[in-house]
Chain A
Amino acid sequence: MNRRQTIFRKPNSAALAWLLAGAVWFAMGTTWGLFSAAHLIAPELFDNISWLVFGRTRPVHVNTVIFGFVAPMLIGAALHYVPALLKTRLWSEPLGWLAWLAWNAAVASGFILLPLGITQGREYAEYIFPFDVCIMVALVLLIVNLVMTIATRREPLLYVSVWYVVGMAVWTAGVYPIGNVMWQPATGAMPGVLDSIFLWFYGHNLVGLLLTPLATAAAYFVVPRVTRTPLYSHTLSLVGFWILLTLYTHIGAHHLLQAPVPNWLKTLSVVDSMAMMLPVFTVLMNLWLTARGRGGRLWRDVGGRFVMFGLILYFVTCVQGPLQSLPSVQRVTHFTNWTIGHAHIAVLGFAGFIALGAMWHTLPGILGRRLFSTRLVSVQFGLLMTGVVGFFLVLSIAGLVQGTNWANGNVEYNTLPMMPPYMILRGAMGLLIVTAAWVGLYNCVKTIRRKERATELATKPVANSQ
């Protein structure tokens, strides 16, 4: 009993729990992604196995990678670096654990309820009401914990990473209940087309105000530390932060450009999607100028390498994003695999890579010992890099094939026989990603369970900045 209490009070234990959850759900979520991909190669592979049917594995995959992998891993890192940046401790470890429990209950529910067909069905908002409540409880607990940590800080200045983490929590606590229409527990939806407006306000801000700020915060933390230089500009940080919030929040209608929703909403979303390049490039410029001339240090650091690559893919995502917000582009790309390519390079390539970078970067500090194997981290990096870039290329091409055909009068059924090569390649790339996820989990668990004294078992003297 006593021992258990100490686990939940041990400094950094909550952070560690969030990180580990992220690593576990990464492996599980991508495995379910592979099931979905397998269906698109051979639709009768899991014929009539209800819980493996595509319409049910896909939401398990999507929700698990977003709510299980990327978000918790980034939150775990934040629970470590926010107190560190404020020169204090997390205000309450038990509260961090409680939030962990509530949050992961929701993710776990996805593996039981969605395969049973118990879902609210709206993309990214599938978790049913009780688990929406769990997510909200977790967010509120995180807010309390963050605010109290700030209140008890010993560093007067708030570093930019802290802004983003606090922002993420208070904004998501607004986005989530609105998007899930939590005042309508039975359906979790609004009546009529308004429902789609609510849904895409939500779906868009889920990646925009939950994942993006967290990933940006982690990058702002890792890059200056690994390169051992101060951040280039405080002003650029401010500009990037406030513009991101102002613009991102109201452009969700770029998911509905061809649907029957009001034109003013579409116009607004197109214009400000273009403008999104401003905050993104401000942040990227700030980080690039910080690391300039010291890129080698980033690349040689196991965590830094992930973050660096994640930022490059952030650039790609945010060139692609505004372009595909143009109605003329969407005429071809909408409804196709092109969007799936964007989703993977964004959620996995940008936010996921930075999450992994932040994990590998903070784990040694949290545990007070070196990683089990930096070589395995490099293996994971290589697999993932190949996987995600391949995914992106394959799906973008598949999307263009579908889209140009449809624009020229061929219909969906005509493009089906063109898809197998792409779907097989995507499956192969997916296999690399899944392998990387399990390798990462293995490495993570081994690092945690590793005996303090056993450092000589490490593959090599660490090339790791810790």
Chain B
Amino acid sequence: MKMTPAFLILGGLLIFWTSTFIAVILPAMTLGDEPSAIWRPREADEARGAQLYIDNGCSYCHSQFGRTFDWGLGRQRVAEQGDYYAMQPVILGTERWGPDLQQAGGEHPDGWHHAHFLNPRNTRPLSLMPSWEFLGEKNIEALTRYVQSNWGTLADERMARQRHWETQFVAAYESGADANVAFLHANVPPTWRAMPNPYPADEAALQRGQLIYQWYCIACHGEVGDGKGRGGLATFRGRPAIYPPPMNFTTLRRNLIEDKYIGGIFYYQIMNGITGTAMPYFKHELTSEKIWDVSNYIAVRFVGYTDAGLEPRGIEASYESAGDDGENKP
């Protein structure tokens, strides 16, 4: 077979356009265009935030679709075609340095995002995300509105819940430290309240707990557990970005349940987060033992007391040595 110029160009074009027809024109003709059940149009400031998301290359580190087998953010519901109705462009993303953001709306209250956008290390000590302080507070607010709208009507439901509890926790905080703790603890299910930490607070456990604290908690709760980490001190529009501010653990010593329990409350709050406050849930990042270890760490180092090993307790775990109760000096 001889390649003549005509054969080369016409043959090349014929095959190219046939193949292109299959790859894009056919989908363009057959793909339906229906919004999904959770879809809603974007408000003006949300749309501006979406544009900022594009302009600043957030998409190079974040994806925007949940998959069947995800464990982190974005696992609540598998993305559907109709979720992206009328969006233009649709940048699904090809890399995850950070979590998927399609379902990020309402995961945190606005204040968490303000502190996080100013400098992500304000809330997440290990974050690789750039600081966006240079964008200015107006743009940060737009980005926040955008993120909070991700997931359409389901995000709106979550936001309503965040606002509901935020009002309550702000009121509690403003009524004084002890009343605040009382309110926080009143909202922990009773079974968790009268529960000691089942694991010993030995040196190894405290060391593990310290690592967890430094990787996940120190930005808010601070080096000495007084809630004055960099995130706790960050300000947005002249006010503390995170409000109520992060818990000052040193106030807990006088607020133990039945004068002795605190482990179960810690576990519950860390696992579940406190909706309406910036306290995130850590059940994705931390497995059970890690949560108990960091609870013991906070208890020993900042509260100055741990309930590890108190009754009620079951059979000791097989690896524990006898009398290995850690310290508890009520």
Interface residues of A (CB under 8 A from B): 39-40, 43-44, 47-50, 53-56, 58-59, 117-123, 147, 150-151, 157-158, 163, 166-167, 170-171, 174-175, 178, 184, 187-199, 201, 209, 238, 242, 245-246, 249-253, 255-256, 258-262, 265, 268, 331, 334-337, 339-340, 402, 406-407, 409-414, 416-417, 419
Contact A335 B71 (CB under 8 A): no
Interface membership of B47, Cβ < 8 A: no
Mark contacts of B85-115 with chain A using CB atoms, 8 A cut-off: 1 yes-contact digit, 0 otherwise: 1111111111111110000000000000000
Contact B79 A260 (CB under 8 A): yes
Is the beta-carbon distance between A253 and B23 smaller than 8 angstroms? yes
How far is B145's CA from A466's CA once the two chains are assembled, in angstroms? 63
Whether the Cβ atoms of A55 and B20 lie closer than 8 Å is no
For the complex with contacts A242-B15, A339-B95, 5 further pairs of A-B residues with Cβ separation under 8 Å are: A121-B89, A147-B5, A150-B5, A198-B28, A335-B95
Quick check: B60 and A59 within 8 Å, CB to CB? yes
The verdict on A238 contacting B3 (CB below 8 Å), with A54-B61, A260-B80 known, is: yes
B297 close to chain A: CB less than 8 A = no
| C-alpha spacing A411/B286, complex, angstroms | 10
A158 and B12 form a contact (CB under 8 A): no
Q: Which of B181-211 contact A (CB under 8 A)?
A: none
Indicate if B37 sits at the interface (CB-CB under 8 A). Answer: no
Nearest chain-B residue to A190 (Cβ)? B88
Could you tell me the distance between the alpha carbons of A372 and B84 in the complex, rounded to whole angstroms? 56
Min CB–CB distance B247 → chain A (angstroms)? 21
Inter-chain contact B55/A121, CB cutoff 8 Å: yes
The CA-CA distance from A165 to B87 in the complex, in Å, is: 37
CB < 8 Å neighbour of A331 from B11, B69, B71, B126: B69
- A151 CA to B79 CA, complexed, in Å: 53
Residue of A nearest to B69 (CB): A331
Q: 4 tightest CB-CB pairs across the interface, nearest first?
A: A55-B57, A189-B89, A411-B72, A121-B54
Check A43 against B127 for contact (C-beta < 8 Å): yes
CA distance A151 to B4 in the complex (A): 11
CA distance A402 to B54 in the complex (A): 25
- Residue of B16, B73, B85, B133 with highest tally of chain A CB at under 10 A: B16
Checking A117, A122, A238, A268 against B91 with a beta-carbon cut-off of 8 angstroms, the contacting residue is: A122
A55 with B63: CB separation less than 8 A: no
Name the A residues within 8 Å of B127 (CB-CB). Answer: 43, 416
- B95 near A336 with CB under 8 A, answer yes
**Are the C-beta atoms of B20 and A250 separated by less than 8 Å?**
yes
Interface size on B, as a range, is 35 or more
The prevalent SS among residues of B at the interface is loop
Q: Which of B15, B57, B78, B93 contacts A56 (CB 8 A)?
A: B57
CB distance from A319 to the nearest CB of B (A): 21
Contact B4 A48 (CB under 8 A): no
Residues of A within 8 A of B130 (CB): 39, 43, 47, 53-55
Whole-angstrom CA separation of A259 from B87 in the bound complex? 15
Interchain Cβ contacts under 8 Å between A and B, 17 examples: A43-B127, A43-B130, A55-B56, A122-B89, A170-B13, A174-B17, A175-B20, A192-B33, A198-B24, A246-B19, A258-B67, A260-B79, A261-B27, A262-B31, A335-B63, A416-B126, A417-B126
Give the chain B neighbours of A246 by CB distance below 8 A: 15, 19
Interface-centre pick from B69, B79, B80, B88 (highest chain A CB count, 10 A)? B88
A40 CA to B127 CA, complexed, in Å: 10
Tell me whether A258 and B124 are in contact (CB under 8 A).
no
Residue of A nearest to B118 (CB): A48
A201 touches B24 (CB 8 A): yes
Say yes or no for B8: interface residue by CB 8 A criterion. Answer: yes
User: Which of A192, A336, A339, A340 is the one whose CB lies under 8 Å from B84?
Assistant: A192
The answer to whether residues A260 and B8 also contact, given A121-B57, A245-B16 and a CB cut-off of 8 A, is no
Q: Which residues of A contact B9 (CB under 8 A)?
A: 147, 166, 170
Q: How does the 8 Å CB contact mask read for B122-146 relative to A, with 1 for contact and 0 for none?
A: 0010111111111100000000000
Question: Which residues of chain A are within 8 angstroms of B67 by Cβ–Cβ distance?
Answer: 258
**Is B12 a contact of A48 with CB atoms below 8 Å?**
no
Indicate whether A245 sits within 8 Å of B15 (C-beta atoms), given known contacts A55-B58, A121-B91, A167-B8.
Answer: yes
Output the residue of A163, A190, A412 with the most chain B CB within 10 A.
A412
- The complex places the Cα of A207 from the Cα of B98 at a distance, in Å, of 27
Q: Are B12 and A171 in contact (CB under 8 A)?
A: yes
